[in-house]
Amino acid sequence: MSKQGTEAPDQPMPGKALKELFGQSHDRGRAGLPVMSLSMGRGLVPRNQDERRVETNLSDEQHRLVRAGELAYNMMRMWQGVCGLAEEDCLISPAYVVVRPLNGMDPKFSEYLLTYEETVAQFKLLSFGVVDDRLRLYFKDFERVRVRIPSPPAQRKIARILTTLDNLIENTEALIAKYQAIKQGMMHDLFSRGIDAHGQLRPSQAEAPDLYKQSELGWIPKEWTSARLGSGITAIQYGTSAPSHSEALGSCPVLRIPNIEQGQLQLNDLQYQTPSPFEIKCFGVSEGDILVIRTNGNPKIVGTCAIVTGHELPMLFASYLIRIRLNGSLIASSFLASFFATDRARSFLERRATTSAGNYNLNTESLRAMPIPFPSLTEQGRICEVIGGANRQLSLLNTDLGKLRIVKTGLMQDLLTGKVRVKVDELEEVADA
């Protein structure tokens, strides 16, 4: 995105204390207004959409009123920038602080200003508490923060620029969510109906029952077989003990949980050690191996995996991972890794995970017991080609999203600090007056 309508500053923007720009509101709630919560990155959201909400028996009148154009902040999380602008009159918890823009401050610009990283860093310095989770920012300390402020017309133009970019980000996020939902439904069909020799998804079992047979996976195409993952087709093994710290002169990377992200191996956070030939033989990875996360505090992370491919070897894998080595004449790594991401596989793995000390754990026996479908290698390839196309589309959208976020960060740095000034012509001055 170009920085149209901006120019280099002639002189620094004036600095002011927030005391000059915002006043505190203590108005009590009134019946009939929506009840909102504050969410990091989302601002004020309907209370029933907030996953962190705490149930309360407060009446409407015991809530705090936030008028349209006012802002609320969470005094225990303002060091993280948890603040939001009210688009309409609403109610919030009396534990939140409500502030009203003064002296021509644009409300939307105010929201960007109060959630900007440099402002938030000052909030943290002025918050009180022993540990981060207990830090509180009282209004008397909020008032002390100093910021640089452009003219009200410039504020409104900056808010319009950043809002346009936020809309692009929101639309891209919505597209990603849409394609992810489409992909998940497509995965269900691909792993239960497959793709026939003509490159078409088979009719469903209800439409063409003669094309299917029963299996422990449910209905599958007659040409397929099903088997347990460990029934002679794979070798499944735990890894080596991860080094407690990286050896300065270690020669061999050790793959750990942080190296598996969104189905890919990430090699930007590696630890090293110098293994013996025996360790390389036992705990080394080969092209086509699948590494599965076997323990994590989040059950949705347990069982996620990545394929070792296109990386310089040797590499070892740590004990928090399980290595699956396949019989390539029966099943392709890409096919099995994709099956691991299906709802059917996820449900199986989550049921088999045990809990201990707050962690969810999978063992090799559970993996060996997982039933998997076996189309021919040719059909596996056709299925993976379709999934690959969907993954490429999502990758492009995620790349676009990342670029938009970088642009927004840069624009906020330029516009909110006055490094780059927006151009406000006379017509805008009159319209905004």
Q: Which of 186, 180, 204, 188 is nearest to 347 (CA)?
A: 188
Out of 7-21, 86-100, 342-356, the most confident range is 86-100
User: How far is residue 335's CA from residue 194's CA, in Å, rounded to a whole number?
Assistant: 12
Q: What is the pLDDT of residue 243?
A: 62
User: How far is residue 375's CA from residue 334's CA, in Å, rounded to a whole number?
Assistant: 13
Secondary structure (DSSP) of 132-174: GGG-B--HHHHTT-EEE---HHHHHHHHHHHHHHHHHHHHHHH
Secondary structure (DSSP) of 128-141: B-SSGGG-B--HHH
* Residue 53 DSSP label: -
Q: Which of 138, 167, 144, 150 is nearest to 110 (CA)?
A: 150
The bridge status of strand 97-101 relative to strand 71-73 is antiparallel
Q: How many CB atoms lie within 10 A of CB 384?
A: 18
Percent of the chain with pLDDT over 90: 75
Span 240-252, average pLDDT: 67
pLDDT digits (tens, 9 = 90+) for 315-348: 999 999 999 999 888 999 999 999 999 999 999 9
Find out whether 253 and 272 touch, Cβ atoms under 8 Å.
yes
Query: What rounded mean pLDDT belongs to the chain?
Result: 90
Name all domains of the chain by residue range, CATH numbers in brackets: 1-12+150-210+377-433 (1.10.287.1120), 22-148 (3.90.220), 225-374 (3.90.220.20)
pLDDT of residue 356 exceeding 50, the answer is yes
Q: What is the pLDDT of residue 2?
A: 44
User: How far is residue 193's CA from residue 196's CA, in Å, rounded to a whole number?
Assistant: 9
61-to-92, 110, 360 alpha-carbon distances in Å: 10, 27, 44
Q: Which of 87, 83, 108 is nearest to 98 (CA)?
A: 83
Residue predicted with more confidence, 131 or 289: 289
**Segment among 2-16, 120-134, 156-170, 327-341 with least mean pLDDT:** 2-16
Which residue, chain included where needed, has tokens 């909030």? 123
pLDDT digits (tens, 9 = 90+) for 249-290: 677 899 999 999 888 898 888 888 888 889 899 999 999 999
